[in-house]
Amino acid sequence: MDTKLILKTNLFGAWCGVAYCVLLLVGWWVIGGFFPLHRPSAGADEIAAFFRTDVVKIRLGMVIVMWGSATFIPFSATLADYVSKVEGRSGPLTKITSMAGYANAMLTFYPPLLWIANTWRSQERSAELIYMINDIAWLQFIGGLALIMPFFVTVAITALHDKSAHPTFPRWVAFVSAMTFILFLPDQMLFFFKTGPFAWNGLFAFWVPLSVFCGWFILLAYLMRRSILAELQQRFGTAAAPAATLAPAARSHP
């Protein structure tokens, strides 16, 4: 495949990291109405009432989240491509990165599908059944982090071992990735608490992981975009082309 096309495909993949975060939050919170967050301690009737009102908005929001999960696949492919360049081949780190990206796409896809199912026959189903499906969706959506954690490890290793003159991921990215990994760990306490900072709507189980989650992906998207644009400029003079085109026109005027 043409090198320029590969770079532009990777540029699209880098932007998909930002698109993923935007579609996730817009679909889930702004349109789907999941903000304020459901309380794990809420009763069955309260949860059932949520899914029995504004069902169209919930479905629309969840469809947006599911499409957002699809954008994570090209982002992961671009990230895996840069890992492979440092690894020197499509080795274990590259494969782990690809598989972790696919796993996160699936972890993002299925909870909104369950929430749509909750609205599908909400008037016919018992509150207890809606309650159970909601619990399953929340526990996977917020707590299913084990499969994405290898992402932070592979990026950290890549950043530490990139010996190129202008690495895509500087060494400090390794420490940011390690810190992200550590800050994600308290999220797993949500399986043991229904109230407090370790519940799925709490500070350490939700707000801290969400902040570092979005921040980490946006950071990587920015770094990959910067590297791609620099390579496009170096190889093809893409950024300089408009200036070169305008220069003769500018000189033609007195």
pLDDT in tens, 97-116: 999 999 999 999 999 999 99
Tell me the average pLDDT across 129-156: 95
Give this prediction's pTM: 0.88
Least Cα distance to 82 among 226, 224, 216, 219 occurs for: 224
Q: What is the mean pLDDT of the chain?
A: 91
Least Cα distance to 77 among 230, 224, 235, 229 occurs for: 224
Report the length, in residues, of the chain: 254
The CB-based long-range contact list for 195-198 (8 Å cut-off, 24+ gap) reads 195/39, 195/40, 195/41
d(Cα 203, Cα 180) in Å, to the nearest integer? 15
For residue 247, pLDDT beyond 70: no
Place of tokens 């540029």: 11
pLDDT band per the 50, 70, 90 thresholds, residue 89? confident
The per-residue pLDDT for 241 is 43
The per-residue pLDDT for 161 is 94
Tell me the average pLDDT across 225-239: 86
Asked whether 15 and 48 are in contact (CB, 8 A), the reply is: no
d(Cα 6, Cα 251) in Å, to the nearest integer? 36
pLDDT band per the 50, 70, 90 thresholds, residue 238? low
Asked whether 195 and 144 are in contact (CB, 8 A), the reply is: no
Percent of the chain with pLDDT over 90: 85
pLDDT band per the 50, 70, 90 thresholds, residue 51? very high
Buried b (16+ CB within 10 A) or exposed e, 157-191: bbbbebeeeebbbeeebbebbbebbebbebbebbe
Domain borders along the chain are 3-236
The per-residue pLDDT for 244 is 40
The per-residue pLDDT for 18 is 95
Asked whether 191 and 136 are in contact (CB, 8 A), the reply is: no
The per-residue pLDDT for 15 is 96
